[in-house]
Chains A and B, each alone.
Chain A
């Protein structure tokens, strides 16, 4: 997650495939079959209403919660964009490592309170908590819209990643559209059937698989190409030292700015704990200890990024000039004359990364649209089973829309992606105020959120406002906090008895 990364899927220029593509395909389909089986099996015990379908009856244990959080973050970006960044931009890629270090720590402090409120009031989404605290339907709808704006391009990229991987390892025999359809067909079936439990157990499988693969490739490739990780960095430190120190290189190949590097970390750290599909997993935790233990051990998943970055560094001297840079890992793999089974495992691992993020997004998008938008604005009297049915229908619709953008539409959603990260970070002050500042009021929160989103949009649309490449979301946060505090203090305080149920006292 973090700063948006453009995955450009273009020609496979010059990739050699010496392995038998049928073996590759068989391994990949084997993985998909296992994912489907696990996904379908996992949903058999939960209750039928939204508490079961969206929050897993609030009964998830440590291992599953650990993997659900770990694997949802490592998207298609981890296997393609991560090495691509290290390859083309060097130490700039380290910002990803940085934000994951403390990104989830806020959960240790506010997570138990959020989970308790969820149990008390029946919340299963982020917007339910915040709109209830501020008694505002507008806030609920606004958060739902922000979430969808952020999810759609993100989901689209996951689908493109899946199609691309299929295409590359079968030497173009399976076109992008078919690859994306096969992988996301599987996702659709298990999310439709099993809801959050399908996401949880498949992510556990996918997460373990990704970890093993990342470490194997990350240590094997530098050894194969340079004789070891130390030898590799020794060579790089001699020839391209600027690639090994922050801020690394920018997208244009020149040294990146400190403003760009640091603000990418700031926005990612603040956004990390608040991404709505992520945040709502707090409600799934079985106990306070489970939730805290997950936060504590989360960095052990983060360590997995280090070998992923090694892969990109391995390509710098041995494979100069690979375009697009995201193709560096497939390029190296295809050139090494590896057994077909290994290529198949890579393909499955990359699909696992894409699917474990895509499934959480599509599940959250459906849940949020029904719970926070449709139900709040139009049908407050919906029964539990009606909600679950509608969420399932929307899971299908949203997958279809994302698929359209992923393989059919020529419209690029990258601009939207840039905007969305800035938007998500605007929710952070709202959550802090909701739990820690009793004097914050509904008009204050709405004004802050509006100011934050408007400023972020303006700074995105008008590059002349840019300064030192500081992320537009940072300026948005400034406007957000000022407007929230000013308007809150100018409006009458909310009912202390109501507020007292939410804030720390």
Chain B
């Protein structure tokens, strides 16, 4: 009856991978709010024509996209799933 975030059907290696991804997204979340965001909230320097802060947010967006995309491609290649079940569809 304990709370469980990841399926017990996962191998230890899979469990480590999914845990790391979850931690990564929690860190992204924290990076967008106070107090972490105060470290990056500057108008200058302009990067790619954008204020530094906007560039920072765009970088977080692209970073999250790439991490999730890699996970998706890895799942496709290995046939794994974050939540394996007999009745997958």
Contact = CB atoms under 8 A, between A and B. Distances in A.
B43 A244 contact: yes
A127 interface: no
A436 B4 contact: yes
A237 B3 contact: no
Given A244-B53, A439-B1, A505-B7, A102 B37 contact: no
Interface stretch (A152-160, A228-236, A386-394): A228-236
A101 B57 contact: yes
B68 interface: yes
Contacts of A266: 33
Given A119-B89, A292-B72, A230 B54 contact: no
Contacts of A105: 25, 64, 68
Contact of A504 (B1, B7, B44, B75): B7
Nearest to B53: A245
Interface residues of A, number: 60
A237 B43 contact: yes
Given A101-B60, A437-B3, A230 B32 contact: no
Given A234-B46, A237-B46, A265 B32 contact: yes
A244 B83 contact: no
Contact of A244 (B29, B32, B51): B51
B89 to A, nearest CB: 6
Contacts of A296: 65, 68-69, 72
A323 interface: no
In this complex, which of B2, B6, B8, B83 has the most chain A Cβ atoms within 10 angstroms of its Cβ? B83
A110 B7 CA distance: 11
Interface in A41-77: none
A172 interface: no
A414 interface: no
Contacts of B49: 228-230, 233
A299 interface: yes
Interface string A91-133: 1001001111110010011101101100110000000000000
Given A108-B68, A233-B46, A288-B88, A246 B37 contact: yes
Contact of A112 (B41, B61, B81): B81
Contacts of A33: none
B82 to A, nearest CB: 6
Contacts of B5: 436, 504
Interface string B58-89: 10111011001101100110000111010111
Given A296-B68, A439-B1, A505-B7, A109 B33 contact: no
A504 B83 CA distance: 8
Interface string A20-43: 000000000000000000000000
Interface of A: 91, 94, 97-102, 105, 108-110, 112-113, 115-116, 119-120, 228-230, 233-234, 236-237, 241, 244-247, 258-259, 261-262, 265-266, 269, 287-289, 292-293, 295-297, 299-300, 302-303, 306, 309, 436-439, 493, 496, 503-505
30 contacts: A94-B57, A97-B61, A98-B57, A105-B64, A108-B82, A109-B82, A112-B83, A115-B89, A116-B87, A119-B87, A230-B46, A236-B43, A237-B46, A244-B43, A245-B41, A245-B51, A246-B53, A258-B34, A262-B33, A266-B33, A269-B29, A287-B89, A288-B81, A296-B68, A299-B62, A299-B65, A436-B4, A436-B5, A503-B4, A504-B6
Given A99-B32, A244-B43, A288-B88, 11 more contacts: A91-B51, A91-B53, A97-B57, A98-B32, A108-B71, A237-B44, A244-B54, A287-B89, A296-B72, A306-B58, A504-B6
Interface of B: 1-8, 22, 25, 28-29, 32-35, 37-38, 41-44, 46, 48-51, 53-54, 57-58, 60-62, 64-65, 68-69, 71-72, 75-76, 81-83, 85, 87-89
